[in-house]
Structure formats: structure tokens, C-alpha cells
Structure 1
Amino acid sequence: MTESATEPTIFERIAAREIPARIVAETDRVIAFHDIAPKAPVHVVVTTKQAGYRDVVELAEGDPALLAELVAVARDVADDLADGDFRLVFNTGGGAGQTIFHVHAHLLAGRLEEGSLAG
């Protein structure tokens, strides 16, 4: 784990506007912003504003409505930035490339670059 339970995650800090990001969509509970190291022509991180769920499995079990909202925001971003065609990737666990243990998805559209989708 890269984040302390007492420290806000980088995603919480982006949502609080403590760290700048190119935000493309936002609801009361979800925020989407361009990834700082894109792996595709469109690479947007879609995440919850508040921590509480480490990964998509915890989110699905704990708040399925929030997961549905996250996916809906991803769909809307893809409609706006990629004509609706996209991949939605959730890394779950360090062995799968997850480095920030605050549930988030990578929305990818267009040609993928080589390399992993760490995050």
C-alpha cells in the first residue's frame, strides 16, 4: 500500500483541489481527470471523491450504486472524448498493477501504448 490510512489519498487531494488536475467530469461523489502518464490517446482516471474502498471488489460489495455512478461517469466521458468507444480497467491488488489503493478505473480510448496500466 502506498497511502497511509490517516493521510488523504492523491485522488482525495485532487477532488479537494489541493493537487491540480485536468478534470473532465464530476458529480457529488465521482471525479474524472486526465491521467498524468497516458497509455492511450484518451486516458482518464475515474474515481470516487472519498476514500473508503480500496478496489472495485470492495466497492461492488459495499456500495453498488456508487460503482454504477462511477461507470456512468466513465460512459459520459467516453461519449464526450471518444465517440463512446472505450476500455474501462480496474487494477485490483499490487500484483495486478494497482499502486494507489483508492478505487479507480482507467478509461482508455484509441490505440494503446505498450506497457502496463499501473495506478
Structure 2
Amino acid sequence: MPIDATQPYNDTNIFARILRGEIPSQRVYEDEWAVAFHDIAPQAPVHILVIPRGAYASWDDFSARASADEIAGFVRAVGHVAREHGLVAPGYRLLANVGAHGGQEVAHLHVHLFGGAPLGPMLSR
């Protein structure tokens, strides 16, 4: 169910619980800024979620409140995961949903990294 992007951060969300190790994940990368893991319901041959370690509800929240180091570290982590999975040369897609109209379902910033096959048009409409 899509969420309101203006709601405050709730540390009981699934990604906060993954960060704390309460819920298992198939991690492919982690550093001081971010954790990346395979999506449990992949929508492409490669479907990895990258989340910041900080408590940010959405891209809007992150871009407004994160430090320059957090932002740089997170963006570098996304790029690193794409390179490590061989996605750069054939191409890949990044998706960060924000709020109800954007289809955001978990109130913790997360970037979907899709690749491994041609992905088609951005929107089907």
C-alpha cells in the first residue's frame, strides 16, 4: 500500500529491521553509508535494493536532511553495486519511488537497481 511521503520516519519498517539484522536479507554490499540486497520479489533478472543506513523516509527526506557525506556515500554505493554486478555496459535502471503517487510502499529510502535484460519503456501508459 503506497505511503504518504511526508510522514515521519518509523523505525519499525522492514528496511530498518533488515538493517538491524532482525529480518534476513541476501546482502550483496554494505559499507558505512549503505546496504544492498536482492529484492525478495524480483521484477528483472537483477533486482537489488540499496538503502541508506540513516533513518530517511524517502528521497525527499534524504535530500533535505542527509549530510553531504551521507549523500555522496549512498550515491557511490549505488554505483559500486551496479559496477560489481556488470550492469554498466549493457545498461540498467534506477528507481526511487516517493509517496503515494510514486508508488512508495516502505517509508525508508530505497533505490531499486534493475538490470540483466532489456527493461522496456519507462512507463506503460
- TM-score under structure 2 length normalisation: 0.78
Hey, what's the Cα distance between the residues in 1 that align with 2:86 and 2:72?
20
Q: Please state whether the residue corresponding to 1:46 is helix, strand or coil.
A: strand
> Which is further off, 32-41 or 80-89?
80-89
Runs (4+) of structure 1 exceeding 3 A deviation are 1-7
- What is the deviation of 1:4? 8.6
- Name 1:91's counterpart in structure 2: 97
- What is the deviation of 1:77? 0.8
Q: Please state whether the residue corresponding to 2:18 is helix, strand or coil.
A: helix
Say which of 1, 25, 30 aligns to 2:34: 30
Equivalent pairs counted in the alignment come to: 114
Hey, what's the Cα distance between the residues in 2 that align with 1:97 and 1:25?
25
Give ranges in structure 2 of 5+ residues lacking alignment.
Answer: none
- TM-score under structure 1 length normalisation: 0.81
Q: Pairwise mapping of residues 1-119 of structure 1 onto structure 2 (< 5 A)?
A: 1=3, 7-51=11-55, 53-63=56-66, 64-84=68-88, 85-111=91-117, 112=119
RMSD: 2.5
Hey, what's the Cα distance between the residues in 1 that align with 2:17 and 2:43?
23
- What is the deviation of 1:113? 8.2
The answer to whether the 8 Å contact 2:27/2:37 transfers is yes
Hey, what's the Cα distance between the residues in 2 that align with 1:31 and 1:15?
8
Of structures 1 and 2, the larger Rg is shown by 2
